[in-house]
Structure 1
C-alpha cells in the first residue's frame, strides 16, 4: 500500500525536490501539489491525502491558516510542517495547533520518511535540533496566562517514576512508542499509559510540550 502525500509550498524548486525524494519510496507517492494554503484545503477535500507536507509562509493563505481551515472542516489529515531556520515563532504556533511534526526544508531523506511514518501513525516526531528550537522559543514567548505546574509553582519539579523518566527521555530523542516499548520490554499500551501519567504530572497534552517542560526543569537532556 502506498500513502498519498499532498505537498504544499509556494516554491516550485522545493516541491520538485520533495517529489524526487518521495518517488524513491515504496510507501509514498505525491497525490497533489499546491502553492498556497487556500488551494491546499481545496485539494485536501478532493484528494483525501494520508498526510500533508505544509509550508508556513505562503501567499493567499498561510500554512497556519490552512491548518485552521482543515480543522474547521473536520479533515483529520496529519500535517507535517516544512520550515526554515528563521520561523521559530510560527513553528511553536503550528505545534500548538496540532501539527504532527516539523521538517527543515533541507532535511535528509531518512528524516523525511521517519517523520512521515510517524505522522501516519498519529504520532508527533520532532528531531532533537527542532525540539531545542521549540524549547528556546517557548521560553521567549512564555506568557503568565499559560498555566502549568512549573509556571504556577516557582521551583516546582514534578515527581516522575524511573520508568516515566526513561519514556520521557526517549521521546525527547524522537523515539516511537513502539520502539520504546521494545527497548523497555513492555507493551506499547503501557508506554502510552506512562505518557498519560507524564502529561498529567506536567500539565501538558502533547509530547512536544512535555519535552519542553521537562527540559526546562532539567528532567531530560538533548
Structure 2
C-alpha cells in the first residue's frame, strides 16, 4: 500500500517537530518535508509533490489562505488539510470556497489529526461540526436574503412607479388624503392605487400591505 506523503507547513518549530514524531508512528504516513512560511510551502510542494499539505493559516509573509489558493490552482491533486488556532467560521468558509479538504483546530487530539490525514487522502472531507453548523447558518441566511431579493424584484415588476410611491406612503402611516397631498394627486386616484396594490400583493388591508412590504424588502432604503 502506498504511503501517504505529507508536507507540514507551520512557522512554529516545536509544532512541526511534534507532528513529525506523531506521524512517524504511523506506518501509512510519511513526512516528506517541512516548511516555515508560505513561500517555502509552495516551493516544497512543487519539489516534493506530496499527497497532503498540513497547512497553518498564520505564517509570515504569505499566509495559509493565499498558499491554499495557489496550491489549488497549480497542484489540484494535492489535498489541503488546515491545522489552525482559528475557531472561526469565516476561515472555514473561505477554505471551503478555495477547495481545502479539511480544517482542524490545533487543540484536536493526535488521533484526530492522523485520521483526518487519512480521510482527506482517500477523498473525504473533514470539518469540525460546530464550525460547519455556523457556516451552514451563514449560507441559510444568505439564501433567505436571496429569496427576499428575488421576491422583491418579482413583485416590483408588478407595481408601477406610482403604486410603489403609494405603498411607501402607506408604510409611513399616511392616510389617503395625506398621500394625495404628498403625491399631488386626487384622493380618488389614491384609492384606485390602493385597491390595485391590495390585489397585486394579495392582502386584505393597508396594514397587511405595509407589513408585507417591509418583510419582503419591497421598498429600497434611501
Map 1:1-222; keep pairs closer than 5 Å.
1-135=2-136, 138=138, 148=143, 150-153=144-147
Given that residues 53 and 80 in structure 1 are in contact (C-alpha distance below 8 angstroms), is that contact kept between their aligned partners in structure 2? Answer: yes
- Give the unaligned 5+ runs of structure 1: 155-222
In the TM superposition, residue 86 of structure 1 has moved relative to its aligned partner by 4.7
Q: Secondary structure at the match of 1:123?
A: coil
Instruction: Please say if residues 88 and 131 of structure 2, whose CA atoms lie closer than 8 Å, have aligned partners that are also in contact.
Output: no
Larger proportion of helix:
2
Q: How far apart are the structure 1 equivalents of 2:145 and 2:124?
A: 26
Once residues 26 and 77 of structure 1 are traced to their aligned partners in structure 2, the CA distance between those partners, rounded to angstroms, is: 20
User: Residue 207 of structure 1 corresponds to which residue in structure 2?
Assistant: none
Between the aligned partners of 2:27 and 2:128, the Cα distance in structure 1 is 23
Change (3 A) 1:74 1:29: closer
| Secondary structure of residue in 2 paired with 1:59 | coil
Contact 1:45 1:75 in 2 (8 A): no
Q: CA deviation at 1:74?
A: 3.7
> What is the TM-score of this pair, normalised by structure 2?
0.60
Distance 1:85 1:133 in 2: 14
Q: Could you say what secondary structure the match of 1:153 adopts?
A: helix
d(CA) in 2 for partners of 1:74, 1:52: 11
Unaligned runs of 5+ in 2: 149-222
Q: What SS class does the counterpart of residue 113 from structure 2 fall into? A: helix
**CA distance 1:139–1:106, shift in 2 (3 Å):** same
- Give the match for residue 158 of structure 1: none
Contact 1:101 1:125 in 2 (8 A): yes
SS at structure 1 position matched to 2:22? helix
Contact 1:102–1:130 (Cα < 8 Å) also in 2: no
The structure-2 alpha-carbon separation of the partners of 1:118 and 1:14, relative to structure 1 and needing over 3 Å to count, comes to: same
Deviations 1:197-217 (A, max 9, x none): xxxxxxxxxxxxxxxxxxxxx
TM-score, structure 1 length as denominator? 0.60
Aligned length: 147
Q: Decide whether the 8 Å contact of 2:72 with 2:98 is kept in 1.
A: no
Q: Distance in 2 between matches of 1:2 and 1:53?
A: 15
Judge which range, 66-75 or 114-123, deviates more: 66-75
Q: Which has the larger radius of gyration?
A: 2
Distance 2:133 2:40 in 1: 32
